[in-house]
Homo-oligomer: A and B are copies of this chain.
């Protein structure tokens, strides 16, 4: 640490590293300060791999594909350019980033994160707000995969989140779970609230065979749901989810068709007291609202959710449902998701199938 870093007081949100003229949070910033020296509440991580957000990687790939051939060198050059220009990996088109894996290199004396030098960690906050310097020119990456081997460093703020990667599991498996760990934790909390009010809820998870969906089903059951319903788009996922044994009932429906979704959930024992939306396609708001009982809760985890479609949709249907924006952060969420993976063979089978 140099005295230079003391010019600005650090802020747990990372404001002190925003270089924009306007006061914005790091995620909204055009450019971050990537100096190596730490403020006293920061942590520096030696990066070993970046996991680019799927939407971001697909966009880069599309732009640099001509006549069916992807120019991996051009993809790599663009990622290097973004990170050098912005001081963080945030695709200007999609606005999204990804996460990273690395080893803790230095811990500021006032860091509240509880990390130690040498810990192997995954960041659970987005790359879109994480100061990042790439030092190897991404020489080991061919530009053709979301998984980017990388040498360099990144900085975590006082309010950043990072989880230590367990020794007993395949790191790829751990990362895959951590990527969606907000969903099961919030689902469990909502189910527990219903249980505390004296009624074990019926829980429907739309997209129940996916990563966040399967964890949410396991969480709902563990938290005391009376009945769990997994909704999937086709017979293949129906068979997969049935074999995993995560839901009491599995229903096939197109979640974009509000009437079909309502009818499928009703036939499977609904309406749901808690509906969890885990499918990343637009237009599922109306069906999720219709599938939910009066006084129930809809939790939207899909980034394709439209705020106005949810708000106006519920009003237009005179639906007395509580609608939650799926906050990806709940204290203890990573540990809780890992526990579900370890204790539930069905969840583990679905995740291992994807590796």
Taking Cβ atoms with an 8 Å cutoff, the residues of A that contact B are: 11, 13, 15, 22-28, 95, 124-126, 128-129, 159-161, 182, 257-260, 283, 286, 290, 300, 303, 305-308, 310-331
Closest to A161 in B: B318
CB pair A322–B327 under 8 Å, yes or no, is yes
Please measure, in the bound complex, the distance between the C-alpha atom of A286 and the C-alpha atom of B325, giving whole angstroms.
14
Closest to A24 in B: B258
Contact partner, A324, options B24, B182, B258, B324, Cβ 8 Å: B324
CB pair B327–A324 under 8 Å, yes or no, is no
Extra 7 A-B pairs, beta carbons < 8 Å, given A15-B259, A159-B318, A306-B307 = A25-B286, A126-B315, A182-B315, A300-B307, A320-B331, A322-B324, A325-B325
CB pair A325–B326 under 8 Å, yes or no, is no
- Given the interface pairs A125-B316, A257-B23, A315-B126, the reply to whether A323 lies near B325 with Cβ below 8 Å is yes
CB pair B310–A325 under 8 Å, yes or no, is yes
CB pair A305–B303 under 8 Å, yes or no, is no
CB pair A328–B314 under 8 Å, yes or no, is yes
CB pair A317–B25 under 8 Å, yes or no, is yes
Contact partner, A327, options B11, B28, B300, B314, Cβ 8 Å: B314
Contact partner, A329, options B129, B306, B314, B326, Cβ 8 Å: B314
Q: List 5 A-B contacts (CB under 8 A).
A: A15-B259, A182-B315, A318-B329, A319-B329, A320-B327
